[in-house]
Structure 1
Amino acid sequence: MKPVLPLALLIACTAAHAADPATLGTVEVVGTAPLPGLDVPADHVPAAIRTLDDQALRKAGGASLAENLQRRLPGVSVNDITGNPLQADLNYRGFTASPLLGTPQGLSVFMDGVRLNETFGDVVSWDLIPQSAIADLTLAPGANPLYGLNTQGGAIGLHTKRGDTHPGGEASLESGSFGRTRASLSHGGSKDELSWFVAGDALHDDGWREHSPSEAGQLFGKLAWTTATTDIALTLAQANTDLIGNGLTPTSLLSENRRHIFTHPDQTRNRSTLLALSATHWLGDADRLAANAYLRRTRSRTLNGDANDDYEDAYETWVGGGMIGPAPDETGVLNRTATDQNGAGLGLQWTHYAERHQFALGVSHDRGHARFSQTAQEGELTDNRGVDTDEASELENKLSGRTLTSSIYLTDTVALAPTVQLTASARYNHTHVINRDKLNRTAPNLDGDFTYNKLNPALGLTWQASPALTVYGGASQSNRAPSPIELGCADPANPCTLPNALAADPFLAQVVTRSLEFGLRGRAGEGLRWHAGLFRATNHDDILFVGTSTSAGYFTNFGQTRRQGLELGASGNAGVFDWRVDYTWLDATFRSSACLLAENNSSRGQSAECTADGQDDEILVSRGDRMPGLPRHSLKLGLDWRAGERLTVGASVLAYSGQTARGNENGKHRAGSATDRFGKTREFDDKGELPGYAIVNLSADYRLGSGWTLFGRIDNLFDQRYATAAALAENPFVDGNFQADPDDWRRERFEAPGTPRAGWIGLRYAWGAR
């Protein structure tokens, strides 16, 4: 890894401070597994654990949890591919947690020990998480096997509020740009051994782009009974959302008006219910049991107006047949999906505390059942790029998928010396994935029965070289079994219109991730904290989604991919100022060579290796090529000024370098004319990269007294024009008119435009808190 000079400088600086005794204050304790009980001092964790409490999340001021994590945590970026802030892709160190089928998932998300990644595709629906109920969160980096499947790049652990820890009530209302209005109400309390907490969130947003209104609501309740040795909590969470996310838009349309969208409608309606029971019990002074059980049900309905991927073949057939009869006019299609998922699981963990050891042994079992159906209704694209149709809907796929995972894990943190801690962990996962085709009962169909087994180890060491300096390092491994949607969409000859058409597909190998992490963290005086670290994660048999058009593609195993980089960060206070700075260098590359479909890349059909069978729409991706959608550099600055006893003003800067567009995985796409090995010349618009950007956000809180607070914020203060994601695709509209001949379609860059300058103001009232 190249950027080692800043790390060396920090080591030298800390050595100078090591001679001065630092005031350490209270010891920060963090959880290192989904279930409670495995809590260790932060300085004993051999990784760069990050935590945020509810106050930090509130100050971030984002529309969604994903946006708040982007604003406050290093190494986190967001791709607004859908155009809806509640449906963003969250990237951390090059791994993603996304609500979109087709996005390779590499982060696991838990709420009070319940895994929130869905059965069908491992997706994470940020819109279903009750934000006002979050007490704090922990981001554990790396392939930590204790968190189970999908923990390739890290795990996000959310912990919700309780009445005995968050007593009192709070109500808030804010409104502003884009017709966005948000209201929240919460209350917690306790009496004797009983405590309770309830919260509700509601959001209405007209959206800043055309045809983009959204509504979201979440309800949360927790009832707990606590004694000196036992704690039992029952949680009920419900969510109901109706979201419009109109996706990527051609640059030619955005140049006319940033509010333009490509095609519509693009609607997602989600419903979810979670019932969870958790308990902890001290068996004695040194032994603690923790257990949880949950039932989860989600219902998703989508309606997507898309360009018809079958139109081009129909037009070519009509031309090849002598243009007899009317020309095909089914240029658009309404794709509808229905996904019903039921999940259940239980876990049990025993933790033993000894003089030099903290040992834990746990078991878990999770099972999910997904029922999926998809219909298509062909029609005609209108002048405003909607879909007009009077055709009947046709059922194209109906699938039932089951995933069953049983695991056993153990870990031990042992003090080799007063300042040296060794942590060893291992987890064995057994996963069974079963697909049943409910539409086509005879082979070849979607039926499949796959079993995956893996033993994943981890080993880490921390050394507290001085009261102000800790050195850490570790190696770990985790795995991800393919989900039912990936196993049902893995044939390049039958690309899927996600989350739509599926086909009988080949076996996919499970992804195995091996990660390394080394770093330093330290303190100076009472205010300054800093961190410097190096990380590397290598995926073996990675699963990628290869796009064949704006809406279609397939899943495939792709040799090796690697994410590695450097993180530098510091935070502190100086008088009335609190400040923070975080920098991340990320090198995310393909480590194997392969031919990928990319028909809108100017280098298509030019590689001898990828044209051997007459294929003219593939590109050669080589070892060292950058992975798309991930900025190489990110810088985050924050400053809070306590301007008076009542007024606090904050400012933050988010800066990202450029990124590669999807479809340009080989980095060779260029604008202009290009001729392939078969003599075919095509025209290509735009380049296959996005430029970097920087935005400035402002916030202010003014305490009016008697529990009242007036607050406001301005996002993108200087109205910066930017985009957070891009892909190469075909645009059949030229000057607003649909081009019947596909040879006249423009091959250009599609973008996810960033939100323009916007502001909100609100009022908050709090009562009854201690």
Structure 2
Amino acid sequence: MGGQMGGVRFVVLASIAAGAVVGHETALAQGGSEHVETLPPVEVTAPAEGAKRGRSREATRIVRPRPRVIIPTAPAATAGSASDIDADKVPASVNVVDSKQIERTGSPNITDALLQSVPSVNISEVSGNPFTPNLEFRGFVASPVSGTPQGLAVYQNGVRINEAFGDTINWDLIPTLAIKSVAVVTNNPAFGLNALGGAVDVQMKDGFSYHGTELSVMGGSFGRIQGSGQWGKQIDNNYAVYGALEGIHDDGFRNFSQSDIRRFYGDVAYRNDVSEFHLNMGAADNKFGATATVPAELLQNYWGATYTTPQTSHNQVGYFNLTGKVEATPTWTIEGAAHLRFFKQSTEDANPTGTQPCDDPTLLCFGDSSTPAFGLNGVQLSNPFPDGSFLGENDRTSTRSTTAGLSLQATNDDKLFGHDNRFTVGTSLDTSVTWFNASAELGTFGPDYVMTGSGIFLGPSGSPVTDGPVSLRATNQYFGLYALDTFDVTDRLSISGGGRFNTANISLQDQLGTALNGNHEYDRFNPMIGGTYKITRDVTLYGGYSEANRAPTPLELSCADPANPCTIATFLVSDPDLKQVVSHTFEAGLRGSKELNIGTLSWKLGGFRATNTDDILAIASPVLQGFGYYQNVGSTRRQGFEAEIDVKSKALQVYASYAFIDARFLDSLTVGSNSPFADANGNIQISPGNQIPGIPRHRIKAGFDYNVTDAFKIGGDALWVSSQYFVGDESNQFSKLPSYAVFNAHASYQIDKTYQIFGRIDNIFDNRYSTWGTFFQTDALPNFTNGQAFSDPRSLSPARPRAFYVGMKATF
């Protein structure tokens, strides 16, 4: 309770001292700089007329009729990168979300802005908390949930922030207020490991591009109170300082789903005529009630219902990044970066257990009534629980990672055979050490599904299943060497090519035995080639081919034995090898923009096909419900097309998009599953052409913003997502999770130059829908609401009901 009240006090103090949910570019000073920050590896920008790298710059502009794209080829991205090329020369789809688009969502979650603005993005709340969502792009996932096979690389200021142990992405650790822009980009192997479907690239603000002070407070439904503030200042032409602070408290609409978020970001910068350096740092301390999915029968009685409790997560991070850029000659620019990141996560997850009374009721067994359940001392556990108790276990984990890295790249823009040419070569080295620990405390569930611990901890038990404490040290070393070149064949035709060599070394050291010991090495060269052609001044054709690879994570390698499954992300049991995943992506499309009487019209239409070989899937154990392992499942394919249109004028902005995503298995497979259609051995048969679960095929998005007056603005957005198969139904035999539609609205009124009031309504029509679904073991616990057994195997992640929020913002 003391920690909870401390978090509330922090939010209240932050609300008084600081402020808002999002950034506000009106705080930019009028006499700023023509500096354009780079986005690793792509950012759409518009340099001021006559701009020259490294010299005094104008403030970043948000609406750009003729954009330029900056490609510093991550991870050596620095502010004002030299490797900038026109957007029309990028042979891939480019989706950029700026701070204005983030602000219009009124949300502290950056994923909400991506959901609205990027056609192929979809969001699902697998963990049951809106601050820790899964982001899915073209069927590839970036998730905070341990055990999710990841398919997207995420960068912040040029630093890859996929956590070392499971490549997870904790979106809650990124301070939304301090974000300058985000890009979702594809078709470039320079993004490094895990960019199977592309990369999400986050560029943060600094004191050169943001001037002024902004404070804001907001509150509303489900106990939400939040406050934040940002301040930026440029000192003369050479120095700049920026800082942002956010605090959020939310009780959540579900039982036990409280969230407390505290995060900070700061940047100190120096530049002169030929160089620029930034030291940025950040910290976050966030606690969540991660309530996860809930049986459908419980939701029918109460939309805020939960199943087994506690399910909590505590994320902490601290990081330092030093970036620099030097113009060595008029045509050569050298850029470098060094980073250090500390991450800690603690979780509690109450679950039904394989522990049960033996045939001799005074003893405990595991998996059946004859296999002993052992304690930490290796002695079979006696049974202290009353007859008729519903046993469970609280699976606790602790993950502590330290990651450090260096990167260096050089860019040359000398003409080649009299034609414009941009050549970039670079290298990066990242290393991390992770300490992972897990334990299981036995206890009993009450009629509210809350588990009461007994103080008895489970040791290694079961046959073939192993359950018990884990202590693992994992070391990752990632090295990359890359080169990219863009050559203008003519004024209309540009060709890009290059590649990256990746090597990954993963070492596992079991601290309690030898079962998890292992060393794994993965190497691969990934090529890229593509081109763009300007059909007219306003229409560009693009196309390209690229490859990317993902090395298995230490988490996956430690749980990859079908004969010894584990509680996913908790009890690691063995160290068999897994093959790396390789994606082969083709992409082509058209894009354009045109000035009309009604405003600026922008549009794009494109298609893609990405084929993964040796894809990795989390497989449910046929031996024991709730356990599983990771397995290479042959080839999979994700293909589709995207269409988007956007019209912007001074008073009105309207956008609409459609995306079709077809994700399928390409090989015949027999895998374990908790599907109700599993055979007597707990297996299902996947046939070529079966759809991959959890990926809706259709997404339609639309929205508008309208200036009723100079001071009063209104807007709204709509989202429709089609049905999808339940996770666990890889054989496509169960009925789908239904489609859903949700509508939101927002408004603001500028009282004067300083003060603004704003508000929003989420889910206007109070639609009750679920964003994700799977199956659960219906006989593990009874349905206490009616005293009978569960009959519906569906377990759902319910979306937030209608919610109202209002706030005030002050800009100085």
Both proteins in one fold, TM over 0.5:
yes
Over aligned residues, Cα RMSD in angstroms? 2.1
Residue 715 (structure 1) aligns with:
762
Correspondences of 1:263-662 after superposition (within 5 Å)? 263-311=308-356, 314=365, 317-318=368-369, 329=389, 331-355=391-415, 356-394=420-458, 396-440=469-513, 442=514, 445-526=515-596, 527-548=600-621, 551-573=626-648, 576-602=651-677, 604-605=678-679, 616-662=681-727
Displacement of 1:340 after TM fit? 0.5
Structure 1's 27 and 127: CA in aligned 2 closer, same or farther, altered over 3 A? Answer: closer
1:318 and 1:198, CA in 2 relative to 1: closer, same or farther beyond 3 A? same
Normalising by structure 1, report the TM-score: 0.89
Question: What secondary structure does 1:103 align onto?
Answer: coil
Q: 1:571 to 1:118 in 2, by over 3 A?
A: same
8 Å Cα contact 1:318/1:328 also seen in 2: no
CA distance in 2, matches of 1:477, 1:88: 27
Report if aligned partners of 1:172, 1:764 keep a CA contact under 8 Å in 2: yes
Partner Cα distance (2:625, 2:796) in 1: 12
Distance 1:225 1:24, change over 3 A: closer
1:191 to 2:244 alignment:
no
Does the residue aligned with 1:726 lie in a helix, a strand or coil? Answer: strand
Kept after mapping to 1: 8 A contact 2:427/2:482:
yes
* Candidates 736, 754, 763, aligned match of 2:784: 736
Q: Structure 2, unaligned stretches of length 5 or more?
A: 1-62, 359-364, 373-381, 459-467
Matched, 1:250 2:295: yes
Tell me the distance in 2 between the aligned counterparts of 1:187 and 1:630.
40
Residue range with higher mean Cα deviation, 500-509 or 54-63: 54-63
Q: Using the TM superposition, give the Cα deviation of residue 459 of structure 1 relative to its aligned residue in structure 2, in angstroms.
A: 0.3
Matched position secondary structure for 1:718? coil
Name the structure 1 match of 2:4.
Answer: none
Shift of 1:62: 2.8
Range with bigger deviation, 404-413 or 570-579:
570-579
Does the C-alpha gap of structure 1 residues 44 and 320 become closer, same or farther in structure 2, counting only changes over 3 Å?
A: closer
Partner of residue 703, structure 1: 750
Mapped to 1, the partners of 2:558 and 2:357 lie a distance apart of 25
Aligned length, in residue pairs: 708
The structure-2 alpha-carbon separation of the partners of 1:739 and 1:596, relative to structure 1 and needing over 3 Å to count, comes to: farther
Match of 1:56 among 76, 89, 101: 101
Residue number in structure 1 paired with 2:169: 124
CA distance change for structure 1 residues 457 and 86 in 2, over 3 Å: closer, same or farther?
same
Matched to 1:30, the amino acid is I
Match of 2:151 among 103, 106, 116: 106
Aligned to 1:690: 737
For each residue in 1:348-375, what CA deviation from the matched residue of structure 2 results, as whole angstroms up to 9, or x when unmatched? 0000012321000001000111100001
How far apart are 1:312 and its partner, in Å? Answer: 9.7
Cα gap change, 1:716/1:32 in structure 2, threshold over 3 Å: closer, same or farther?
A: farther
CA contact (8 A) 1:335 1:376 kept: yes
Say if 2:71 is the partner of 1:31: yes
Q: State the shift of 1:739 in Å.
A: 8.3
1:596 shift after superposition: 1.2
For 1:173-192, what aligned pairs fall within 5 Å after superposition?
173-192=217-236
Q: Which amino acid aligns with 2:166?
A: G
**Whole-angstrom distance in 2 between the partners of 1:431 and 1:319:** 44
Contact 1:311 1:330 in 2 (8 A): no
Deviation per CA, 1:144-195: give whole Å up to 9, x if none: 2111000010111111111111011111110000111111111000112110
Q: Is the 8 A contact 2:584 2:611 kept in 1?
A: yes
Aligned mates of 2:67, 2:790 — CA distance in 1:
62
Structure 1 pair 319–111 and aligned structure 2 pair: CA distance change class (3 A) = closer
Aligned to 1:70: 115
**Offset at residue 327 of structure 1 (A):** 6.0
- Aligned mates of 2:64, 2:311 — CA distance in 1: 52
Report deviation, 1:67.
2.2
Question: Which residue pairs with 2:210 in the alignment?
Answer: 166
User: In structure 2, what is the Cα distance between the partners aligned to 1:320 and 1:496?
Assistant: 17
Alpha-carbon deviation of 1:83? 1.1
Aligned in 2, Cα 1:176/1:403: closer, same or farther, shift over 3 Å? same
Instruction: Output the CA distance in 2 between the equivalents of 1:262 and 1:331.
Output: 14
Secondary structure in structure 2 of the residue aligned to 1:570: strand
- Per-residue Cα deviation, 1:665-709 (whole angstroms, up to 9, x for no partner): 11113xxxxxxxxxxxxxxxxx4x211011000001111113211
Alpha carbons 2:150, 2:168 under 8 Å: kept: yes
Which 10-residue stretch deviates more, 232-241 or 568-577?
Answer: 568-577
CA distance in 2, matches of 1:541, 1:307: 32
More strand per residue: 1
Quote how far apart the aligned CAs of 1:631 are.
0.7
Q: Aligned to 2:85, which of 17, 21, 40?
A: 40
Separation of aligned partners in 2, 1:578 and 1:320 = 66
Cα gap change, 1:138 to 1:748, in 2 (>3 Å): same
How far is the alpha carbon of 1:530 from its aligned partner?
A: 0.7
**How many Å separate the matches in 2 of 1:401 and 1:366?**
14
CA distance in 1, matches of 2:746, 2:520: 51
Deviates more, 1:50-59 or 1:62-71: 62-71
Matched residue type, 2:456: A
* Separation (CA, whole Å) in 2 of partners of 1:63 and 1:697: 15
How far the C-alpha of 1:493 sits from its partner, in A, is: 2.1
Amino acid corresponding to residue 620 of structure 1 in structure 2: Q
Q: What letter matches 1:350 in structure 2?
A: A
Contact 1:739 1:745 in 2 (8 A): no
8 Å CA contact retained: 2:721, 2:741: yes
Which letter maps to 1:558? V
Deviations 1:6-56 (A, max 9, x none): xxxxxxxxxxxxxxxxx9954423336221332211110001111111111
Tell me which amino acid in the other structure corresponds to 1:154.
G
Aligned to 1:17: none
Deviations 1:244-303, CA, capped at 9 Å, x for gaps: 111000100000110100111111111111011000111121111110000000011111
Aligned CA distance change for structure 1 residues 709 and 31 (closer, same or farther; 3 Å): farther
Instruction: Tell which deviates more after alignment, 228-237 or 496-505.
Output: 496-505
* Deviation string, structure 1 residues 114-136 (Cα, Å, up to 9, x no partner): 11001100000111111111111
* Preserved CA contact (<8 Å) 1:243 1:267: yes
**Structure 1: distance between partners of 2:84 and 2:308:** 49
Structure 2 SS opposite 1:660: coil
Percent sequence identity is 31
State the shift of 1:730 in Å.
Answer: 1.6
| Structure 1 residue 491: Cα displacement | 1.2
How many Å separate the matches in 1 of 2:411 and 2:70? 15
Q: Counterparts of 2:638 and 2:151 in 1: how far apart (Å)?
A: 12
AA partner of residue 475 (structure 1): Y
Q: Distance in 2 between matches of 1:550 and 1:117?
A: 29
User: Deviation string for 1:298-332 (max 9, x for gaps)?
Assistant: 011111111114449958844999xx998684621
Which amino acid is the alignment partner of residue 53 of structure 1?
A: D
Confirm or deny: 8 A CA contact 2:68 2:84 kept in the other structure: no
Greater CA drift, 651-660 or 308-317: 308-317
State which of 774, 787, 790 in structure 2 corresponds to 1:727.
774
Corresponding letter in the other structure for 2:121: V
Is the 1:733–1:739 contact (alpha carbons within 8 Å) kept by the matching residues of 2? no
Taking the aligned partners of 2:223 and 2:93, their CA distance within structure 1 comes to 39
